């Protein structure tokens, strides 16, 4: 699983002009799922994401986690994170999981993230044409690959 994690002061996702998810201070997470991903990747990523110390403490040092600041999380599925651009100019998405594999893993990720965070999260809709807006606070953007843990 690949993630792009952005610390935000606000973020939202619209589908067909309607707001589907909306958060204030917290994290906006883009999630790309591969065929080889599983529950171990989900558990590791959820724990890593909520415990990342990327929020400022009283001295302005990034020393607090999403849990510490009681922040919110907006999760957006994004298969294009697995784009390969090695050949030509049209990206290949061969590594991205097909919907029959990705949808159940996405739903498990949501459930695991809510359990790890201790509250509901906001989401987009798998496979939908989404309009995502956010104010990247910092800016702080972190890339995490569950297959690159060392």
Q: Where are the domains of the chain?
A: 2-145
Is 6 annotated as catalytic?
no
pLDDT at 142: 97
Q: For residue 140, which phi and psi values (nearest 5 degrees)? A: -125, 120
Query: Which of 79, 116, 122, 126 is flagged as catalytic?
Result: 79
Is 141 annotated as catalytic?
no
Is 126 annotated as catalytic?
no
When pLDDT is averaged across residues 96-114 and rounded to a whole number, the result is: 97
pTM: 0.95
d(CA 87, CA 85) in angstroms, rounded, equals 6
What is the pLDDT confidence band of residue 149, given thresholds at 50, 70 and 90? confident
Residue entry with tokens 């589908």: 15
When pLDDT is averaged across residues 69-79 and rounded to a whole number, the result is: 97
Which CATH number is associated with domain 2-145?
3.50.80.10
Query: Which of 78, 116, 122, 123 is flagged as catalytic?
Result: 78
Average pLDDT value for the chain: 96
User: Is residue 54's pLDDT more than 90?
Assistant: yes
- Three-state DSSP class for residue 59: coil
Nearest to 7 by CA among 32, 31, 24: 24
User: Is residue 105's pLDDT more than 90?
Assistant: yes
pLDDT at 150: 65
């Amino acid at each position: 699983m690949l993630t792009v994690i952005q610390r935000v002061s606000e973020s939202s996702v619209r589908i067909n002009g309607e707001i589907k998810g909306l958060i204030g201070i917290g994290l906006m997470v883009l999630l790309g799922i591969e065929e080889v991903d599983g529950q171990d990747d989900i558990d590791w990523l959820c724990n890593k994401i909520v415990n990342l110390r990327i929020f400022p403490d009283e001295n302005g040092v990034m020393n607090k986690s999403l849990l510490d600041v009681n922040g919110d999380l907006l999760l957006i599925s994004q298969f294009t994170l697995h784009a390969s651009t090695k050949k030509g100019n049209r990206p290949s998405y061969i590594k991205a999981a097909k919907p029959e594999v990705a949808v159940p893993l996405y739903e498990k990720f949501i459930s695991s993230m809510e359990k790890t965070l201790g509250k509901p999260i906001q989401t987009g809709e798998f496979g939908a044409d989404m309009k995502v807006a956010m104010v990247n606070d910092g800016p702080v953007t972190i890339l995490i690959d569950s297959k690159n843990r060392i």
